[in-house]
Structure formats: C-alpha cells, structure tokens
Amino acid sequence: QVQLVESGGGLVQPGGSLRLPCAASGSIFNSVTMRWYRQAPGKQREWVATITRAGITDYGGSVKGRFTISRDNAENTVYLQMNSLKPEDTAVYYCNSLPPYFSWGQGTQVTVSS
C-alpha cells in the first residue's frame, strides 16, 4: 500500500514562490507517471502538472510557465516548484499517480494572499 505525504504549503504573497514535495512509500513509485492535482474551495479537483517515469512533463494551461514538476526516483519523491504565485492558485495540493491508483494523502494547503 503506497502512502503519499504532501508538504511545503503555506501562506505566500502574490508573486512569491513555494516548493512542494510529495514523498511516496514503496518502490512502485518509480514505475508510474505522477501528477500534482489541486482543489480550491467549492471547486472540483483539477490536474496541475504531470511527470512520466522518464521525466517528460506536461502542465495545465493556468500554470504553464510558472510551475515546474520534477521527481527524484531514488528518494521516491515528486516536487512542484511554484513561482509567480497568484491568488487563484490558492488550493489544497495533492499528488497521485496517473490515473490515481493510490489512496489520496492529506494534501498541503497553499494560500496566496497579500
């Protein structure tokens, strides 16, 4: 059973940056495409960024050019570097595989506000 633990969230001013790590237990992590998702209050969960086993990346339109996804297979960790943050980026951020095979973690709250 793979467990996912997201962290690194917090309160940041518009234009600021955060780096979110997601640590996964279990070696299966290295075999799957991973994705960051987010869910804002009153909205459905949406995908943010994807990274394949080989490191090929893709981004949702609203974050392209501002966010960067990466992974460290040796550490079973996927990262989301978020720059130029906007108030509309406020959400709980989750990681999971694509499709989401694993149980969802608690997520990490990101709040962008002045």
Q: What is the mean pLDDT of residues 86-100?
A: 96
Q: What is the mean pLDDT of residues 71-75?
A: 91
Does the pLDDT of residue 61 top 90, yes or no? Answer: no
C-alpha 2/C-alpha 19 separation (Å) is 22
pLDDT digits (tens, 9 = 90+) for 16-41: 999 999 999 877 778 899 999 999 99
Q: What is the mean pLDDT of residues 102-110?
A: 96
DSSP symbols for 4-29: EEE---EEE-TT--EEEEEEE-SGGG
| CB count in 10 Å sphere of residue 33 | 15
Q: What percent of the chain has pLDDT over 90?
A: 88
- Secondary structure class of 74 (helix, strand, coil): helix
